[in-house]
Amino acid sequence: MKKFLSVLCLSVLTSTAAFGAGADISGAVEKQPLNMTAIFMFFIFVLATLGITWWAARNTKSKDDFYAAGGGIKPWQNGTAIAGDFMSAATFLGITGAIYGFGFDALILAVGVMAAWPVILFLIAERLRNLGSYTFIDVVSYRLEKKPIRIISAIGSLSVVIFYLIAQMVGAGKLIQLLFGLDYVYAVILVSFLMMCYVSFGGMLATTWVQLIKAILLLIGGTFIAFMVMKSFAFDFGALLASASSQHPKGAAIMAPGLWLKDPVAIISIALTMMFGIMGLPHILMRFFTVKDAKDARKSVFYATSIMGYFYILIIIIGYGAVTFVMGNPDYHDELGKILGGGNMVALHLTHYMGGNLMLGFMSAVAFATILAVVAGLTLAGAATISHDLYAKTFRKTVVTNAEEIKVSRIATFGLGGIAVLLGIAFEHQNVAFVASLALAIAASVNFPILIVSMYWSKMTTRGAVAGGVVGLALSIGLIVLGPSVWVAVLGNDSPIYPYVYPTFYSMPLAFVAIWLVSVLDKSPRAAAERAKFDEQYVRSETGIGISAASDH
């Protein structure tokens, strides 16, 4: 079966190249001449990552290997892979595009993420590693009733995974559309298929190594682009900003707040989304189980924070550099004056301007591998939620073997791939950084409140956790649907019912209130037993005593 899938993956890649070279598809992107250097480097990189996946598959023997790489990932490797999860389409393509369009206001997308990591380092990483086995849902169900808490947490996690997948699929689809001249729909299908190959083959080990390698290469490429931009201004950052102001239609307004975020509620909402949403992303929390102990989990956060801090500095330079060198350049616009490939592609246009076809080929390949790796991590987290948390630990009444659980994971992978294709097509014209932020809003409203309260408040009960999860989930998704990102941009209505893009200003606090209120009102015998078990949980979270029994929870 694995040999068959290998041949099938390579066949799809080959046929895609032929289709991209010969198809006559309408739209601005296909009119661009094919960059054969970029295409060649793209295939080299994709084949190399498939080789890594093949190697990882040979070393993936059990569900411990499939979900957590057997706990054998070193801190620097895990930290680089975690950073790689954030150095994604939403970052390299999306935030650059947001800075290109809105300037200063878009920086909150980067600053908010960085603000989360000290909290993760001191409050979450160690306890999470000591209490869980494969997913964060293991932690929140440690002392609570397993079935209801796993169901509500799983629904929240899958919602986050699906929204985050949309962002990656849009970025990958636009990238392949620009590179090959493929129709966007076919590009999204290709990405989904490759993602299924990655996850079905190599599990967490393959995902980690692909993330690690592409993170290093993306750092190298990003450093080169930022260096060339700064070199153009004699390494005077002020001169870069002045040039960007003169090129942008909004002028100096891009250097001050208010161009995009005009309302205090909107500003606070996106800040809450970016900071606390990170702490509820299932594919990030899952990575803390790939190292051997809590000490290595802390080290992983340190490495990840350092790498991301440097990369976000590069993104700021690249974003303003794109305003200077791409915005007024007719080579990167169609006959109507619109940017080729959309705003998500300005980073690659700047790459071409600074480094020619060779550098464009390198960064296109790395950007695509970036998306594939993040998509694979997201899909693996979603598949683990379905197979481990729902199938094996909630609905199945008998003991589930390793082989059965992995089989369910692979089936779930194909299901998530299909969903990602459909939603990726629906959200085609959305900025990928904004769409990814919607996933963070759900994570901040559902997963984060349940996780942090379960670890630190002894009076939390199952009823309280479920109530908080339901309130956070209903409000976050409901307000997103009623807001401008879906109600107007996707559904085509004239004006939104909920005026803000992000729901977190209301949904996250109300989730906490629901957890607190229902928990303190819960006087049932079960609630008393759950509170009594907190001391045991606290000791284990601080010391790691009993960690060998993690999988039993």
Q: How far is CA 87 from its chain centroid?
A: 9
Helix (H) or strand (E) holding 488: none
Around Cβ 477, how many Cβ atoms within 10 Å?
A: 22
Give pLDDT, residue 449: 94
The CA-CA-CA angle for residues 107, 110, 116, to 5°, reads 135
- Give yes or no for a contact between 140 and 149, defined as CB atoms under 8 angstroms apart: yes
Question: Residues with Cβ < 8 Å from 224, sequence gap 6 or more?
Answer: 354, 355, 359
Q: At what angle do helices 294-325 and 108-119 cross, to 10 degrees?
A: 170
Dist CA 382 CA 273 (whole Å)? 21
Q: Coil, helix or strand for 461?
A: coil
Structure tokens of 188?
Answer: 């999204």
Cα separation, 235 vs 255, in Å, equals 19
Each residue of 176-213: b (16+ CB within 10 Å) or e?
A: bbbbbbbbbebbbbbbbbbbbbbbbbbbbbbbbbbbbb
Cα 350 to Cα 327: distance, rounded to the nearest angstrom = 10
Are the C-beta atoms of residues 468 and 511 closer than 8 Å to each other? yes
Contact 244, 324 (CB under 8 A): yes
Q: What is the pLDDT of residue 115?
A: 82
pLDDT of residue 550: 43
- List the alpha helices (DSSP H) in 457-503: 462-482
3-state secondary structure of 161: helix
3-class secondary structure, 339: strand
Could you read off the pLDDT tens digit of each residue along the chain, which spans 553 residues? Answer: 444 334 334 333 333 333 233 333 233 444 445 667 767 777 787 788 778 878 877 777 777 777 777 778 899 999 998 888 777 666 787 788 889 988 888 888 778 778 888 888 888 888 888 887 777 888 888 888 888 988 888 888 888 888 888 877 877 777 777 667 778 888 888 878 877 776 776 778 887 888 888 889 889 999 999 999 999 999 999 999 999 999 888 888 888 888 888 888 888 998 898 889 888 888 888 888 888 888 898 899 899 999 999 999 999 999 999 999 998 888 888 887 788 877 778 888 999 899 888 888 888 778 777 777 777 778 888 888 888 888 888 888 788 787 888 888 888 888 888 888 888 888 777 666 567 777 888 899 999 999 999 999 999 999 999 999 999 999 998 998 898 878 887 788 889 999 988 899 999 999 999 999 999 999 998 999 999 999 988 888 888 776 654 444 4
Report the alpha-carbon distance of residue 97 to residue 438 in Å, rounded.
17
Q: For residue 90, what pLDDT is reported?
A: 64
pLDDT score at 33: 54
Domains within the chain, CATH numbers bracketed: 9-135+161-441 (1.20.1730.10)
Are 146 and 393 contacting, i.e. CB atoms less than 8 angstroms apart?
Answer: yes
How far is CA 120 from each of CA 113, 297, 444, rounded to the nearest angstrom? 11, 10, 13
| Count of C-beta atoms within a 10 Å radius of residue 171 | 33
